[in-house]
Homo-oligomer: A and B are copies of this chain.
């Protein structure tokens, strides 16, 4: 144990750090996931505040005190608490903190009038247990909560120690973090440089293929470029430390442009863009309309398209042709084609798209037919086999075959089908746009 003690003492001389302490018996019972810890950890990383430990502890004064003791022992200089600030008897974070530092609690007038006001707005009478939320250790400042009744505190019980407390409700914690805490930490000198990033999104290309095209960029240090896969698409995160978003963009932009040039049509958007929003913008720009005919996705393609607000500007609607009768009665697919090639075939996909555009008079039509599983496959038509047909202006009439893999589940295959069908349309829309621009320049 003498050795252990020496090691622990050595830890003490490391540079000072922040620790996250999440309070709540519901976390110990596994009733909720600790999403607050992730959010704060991400924010600390962005502010450049070192952070080596997180703790979860129940609503218990002694145990909370013990956890504070351990964190201080590890030379933490910023302790960030979530949870245990509410009005009920098991909300004990503030009391535990005051106890630990042997500091009396005082009723804060600002909080009290604020809670009173919030209750009045909802035509409710404030009960006595809500008064509890107005108590802060003597000397602590209010960390305002604009959307709930329980505020937090900003407190320096000692010159080398900062305590921040937040409620456990993620939306309140996040609002308090962005509205006040982040500015306070910056005022202390943290986060002069913040990590900014841009996420570039790709469809129709695998991770290793994309990575091999831009290998030298992974050696960069300012900004850094890192690939990852999420929800069936490859993404590249370009990150850099900078004093502002504008300064960051000056570093990120040239790399982003370089990647766009190398990857061409495989790149579809960045950050908040979705394949649905990108297709939407292209359709708005070209003043064209879209309709769809979907079988295996059963409405999923339409849902993704209409997830984008304003999709009514270009999306007409279409047909969910789940049963073969629907393919025939609503889209005019010939019974012969279905019998000869099967409902999941390129031929049926093309007839679906053709029939659709005839019915809806839209500029573009997409059809999907495939085998999403868990059953319905045959030797020649495995689970994950999906056909897409696209009909468009200027006699565009294109078919696509996808094999998403027999090991994928129904939900994934349906998701990939809808997204990749939209990606095929995006590529055609971009080509059309380039052609038009060239014609304009030539003319």
Contact = CB atoms under 8 A, between A and B. Distances in A.
A319 B322 contact: no
Interface in A295-336: 295-307, 309-312, 315-323, 325-326, 329-330
Interface residues of A, number: 84
A183 interface: no
Given A298-B302, A317-B326, A322-B317, A66 B11 contact: yes
Contacts of A11: 62-63, 66
Contacts of A247: none
Interface string A29-60: 11111110111111111000001111111101
A305 B298 contact: yes
A431 interface: no
A229 interface: no
A93 B10 CA distance: 20
Nearest to A41: B30
Contacts of A31: 42
Contacts of A310: 375
A401 interface: no
B52 A30 contact: no
A303 B303 contact: yes
A65 interface: yes
Interface string A369-394: 00001111000000000000000000
Nearest to A409: B309
Contacts of A4: 65, 69, 100
A359 B38 contact: no
B42 A29 contact: yes
A320 B29 CA distance: 44
Given A4-B65, A53-B57, A38 B28 contact: no
A432 interface: no
Nearest to A373: B309
A120 interface: no
A38 B34 contact: yes
Given A34-B34, A323-B317, A58 B52 contact: yes
Contact of A44 (B30, B45, B56): B30
Contact of A39 (B30, B55, B373): B30
A410 interface: yes
Contacts of A321: 317
B41 A52 contact: no
A58 to B, nearest CB: 6
A181 interface: no
A214 interface: no
A355 B297 CA distance: 23
Contacts of A304: 299
A252 interface: no
B69 A307 contact: no
21 contacts: A8-B69, A11-B62, A29-B41, A29-B45, A30-B37, A30-B38, A33-B35, A53-B55, A53-B57, A54-B55, A70-B70, A292-B299, A299-B300, A309-B373, A312-B322, A312-B376, A317-B319, A317-B320, A317-B323, A317-B326, A330-B359
